[in-house]
A and B are shown apart, each in its own frame.
Chain A
Amino acid sequence: MTSIDVASAGPLPRKTEFRQCQYTGLKVDIAAQTLIKVNAVAAVVFLAIGGLFGLLVALTRWPAVHLLSSEMFYLVLTAHGADVLVFWIVFFEVAVLYFASAVLLNCRLAAPKLAWVAFVLMVVGALVANVAVLQGESSVMFTSYPPLMAKPHFYLGLIVFAVGALLAVALFFATLVIAKDEKTYEGSIPLVTFGALTAAIIAVFTLASGAIILIPTFLWSVGLIGNIDPLMYKAIWWGFGHSSQQINVAAHISIWYMIGALLVGAKPLSEKVSRTAFLMYILFLQLASAHHLLAEPGMSSEWKILNTSYMMYLAVMASMIHGLTVPGAIEAAQRRNGYTHGAFEWLRKAPWGNPAFSGMFLSLILFGFLGGISGVTLGTEQLNVLMHNTIYVPGHFHATVVAGTTLAFMAATYIVLPLIFQREVILPGLARWQPYLFGIGAAGISLFMMGAGTLGVSRRHWDITFSDASISFQHSASAFLMMGLNGISALIATLGGVLFVVIVVGTVLFGQKVGPGHKLTFPLHAAGPEAVTHHGAEEAPKLTGTAILVAVFFICFVLYYFVNWKYLADLWLFR
């Protein structure tokens, strides 16, 4: 650790300024606080830009509107992918990492100057990649499969961004070491920090995979390498492309636990089970990236089945565990708070008017029911042939990344604003509605894209009427209806997204400063700080409601899984 300290502040450790949070009692390193702020602001800027591109994509794919020209459509779609799937998410995750290490552990952040270097690298990388795409000759989609080639600075931007992110992740690890060294906490790190740690470990693997494949691809684009094997590219690229979404999962599940703890005082049902579930992500998620190659020639069935069953199903199991333990912890806490009637009083009387809670719970439900079930179905060797590269695929990952991760990050923002920015959330009336608008919109986008994909509509496709094609093809009327409904859902989600950006920017700039003794509009639970920073399980909780919820989930899962096998059995025969 000394070496990093030396790099940032000379031979003496830097003088750290702390403030004490009046709501949680936590010691907050001012330097960490500033870095959380700048990363969160950068995240929201890229969410706004990428979200706008997303709206343009949805309006073009709405057959009745068909907004953009084909060239602009493919350009904007590439930018949409990079801005929201990578830049928004990773900037926010860096903020989460600094928060879960320095703030939750009462510790100083390791080498804040290096953290600034990381931030600058990430901003520069993101800008360079955006410029490359907007210049128009890098419309290769976010996946940039060779032999399709982008301009060199497209790859370079992504690489610089990844280097910055990797540095930020290293500082998270360094902060954990400092906290342990300086004994700023006792025993084990809290569950939320543990979840963030798994996200960070996955991030190392992910960013390394990105570098391993994007550096040669960059060299190929400048002419130094003759050929990039398309299949090898895919196998390694998805170690980056899919694993980056596993960082999201680990991060947003940590946020679910954090919000449950802070708002209703939820403690994990069992530290052992929840932590093991996080650990399973590290062990199995990366290999599950193989499910992107199920419809590929050149890979054996054994390879496909091993990677998507042993590996993926153990990761799926981990998610199913969190799917019980998160609502279970909330139920147990709410019952302790006095809501003990029937199976669901605890849920009815939950703080639904607090956007942090409603956003978190909607994220949990939508991620599980829409994203999780569709993901497993999509990741089944044979069933994949039904949906590979149809718009079902974006339908699935909008359920996980938009309805799941983005909504959870939005929910967390409603806590970050008063506690870290120390500003009272403006327009609380509208803020109460924001997660519902965004959640319903995102759910609609996911469902209708999955519907259209089941009917055969292709993803990344400008014209489903095939008006310029030499051989015509006509999709069914219901496919067109689905794409129209997708457009309408995108408008609703956009409304929720715009509202979010307005509230965040407005709060940061004009929100009432949170002074001593200020009563928060969206208050924390009295037992929240203790629940989020300590470990120790809930004792003998009664969990009728949660048991019913997971039973319903499981029935939906099994039914949907078999419906798809029925679809498959009706196809032409192939072997």
Chain B
Amino acid sequence: MSVTSPQSRVWWKEPVEKVELIWVVVAFAWGIFMFVFMVAWHFIGRQNLSNETYRVAPSAFEKKAEDFAKKYQAREEDGVPVVKPPAGADVYLLGRTFQWWPILELEKGQSYRIHLSSLDLQHGFSLQPTNINIQVHPGLEHIITLTPTADGTFGIICNEYCGLGHHTMTGKIYVTQKKVAEGGAVATAAAKIGEAK
């Protein structure tokens, strides 16, 4: 048989079927919609990953995190400081093999400027069970304004492979109820933490 002459040499002049044409238009319009929605979410949505990033030497970041922890330390858990920064504060959270440090205690409904960086390898900040996942690089300080919307105890796991102890790398964030007035609410919040522990 071999190759016989093609049926239509000028295939680029053949008409396009209607169903195909409709589908092409639908697919294109959907692509445009998804594009617009992604841009629109920056205006209507309240979950947008910050772009604020600075180069930082790992040792300099470690120093900042240690100063931060010393300044606002509330207590200690198994040798790890539990740090309770005031609302709106700059908060430092560092990743290193194999730990997220320090433990944070935040208030529900308050915003914090979280500075994320790594001291050694790449790590994955994965807040659970909320399921917020952000890549963390050594040498890059990523600043995210975070507002907890639920109270309770949250785990941070590492979801970027960082060596043989990767699965032991965890951290913790406590979120307490917002203080309504001095006294009552604080006591409830403290009791809650006691339970969680």
- A-side interface residues toward B, CB under 8 Å? 24-27, 70-71, 74, 105-106, 139-141, 145, 147-148, 184-188, 229-231, 269-273, 275, 294-301, 305, 308-310, 313-314, 316-317, 320-321, 324-325, 328, 376, 380-382, 385-390, 454-456, 458-464, 466, 468-476, 529-530, 533-538, 540-541, 543, 546-547, 550, 554, 557-558, 561, 565, 567-569, 571-575
Contacts and interface: CB of A to CB of B under 8 A. Distances in A.
6 contacts: A147-B138, A186-B9, A385-B47, A461-B159, A574-B144, A574-B147
A573 B2 contact: no
Given A301-B51, A321-B23, A572-B149, A535 B170 contact: no
Interface in B138-190: 138-142, 144-150, 155, 157-172
Give the dominant DSSP class at A's interface. loop
B167 A299 contact: no
B123 to A, nearest CB: 10
Given A297-B140, A535-B6, A575 B145 contact: yes
A227 B131 CA distance: 32
A80 to B, nearest CB: 13
Across the A-B interface, give the 4 residue pairs with the lowest CB-CB distance, nearest first.
A25-B1, A473-B155, A313-B31, A536-B7
Contacts of B111: 573
A424 to B, nearest CB: 22
Given A297-B116, A468-B167, A572-B149, A389 B20 contact: no
A389 B129 contact: no
Contacts of A185: 3
B50 A574 contact: yes
Interface residues of B, number: 93
A473 B196 CA distance: 12
Nearest to B99: A470
B14 A537 contact: yes
Interface of B: 1-9, 11-12, 14-17, 19-20, 23-24, 26-28, 30-32, 34-35, 37-39, 41-42, 45-51, 53, 78, 80, 98-100, 103, 111, 116, 120-122, 124, 126-142, 144-150, 155, 157-172
A66 to B, nearest CB: 11
Given A561-B34, A572-B147, A456 B121 contact: no
Given A389-B124, A571-B47, 11 more contacts: A106-B3, A186-B9, A310-B35, A382-B38, A382-B41, A390-B133, A456-B129, A469-B98, A471-B172, A535-B7, A573-B147
Nearest to A324: B23
Contact of A572 (B34, B35, B150, B158): B150
Contacts, number: 301
A147 B50 contact: no
A388 B135 contact: yes
Contacts of B172: 471, 473
A169 to B, nearest CB: 24
Contacts of A105: 3
B139 to A, nearest CB: 7
Nearest to B23: A324
Nearest to A143: B161
A320 B48 contact: no
Contacts of A571: 47, 130-132, 149
A269 B23 CA distance: 13
Contacts of A389: 124, 126, 133, 135, 159-160
B3 to A, nearest CB: 5
A572 B160 contact: no
B31 to A, nearest CB: 3
A569 B45 contact: yes
B59 to A, nearest CB: 15
Contacts of A382: 38, 41, 45, 47-49
Contact of A388 (B124, B142, B147): B124
Contacts of B120: 147
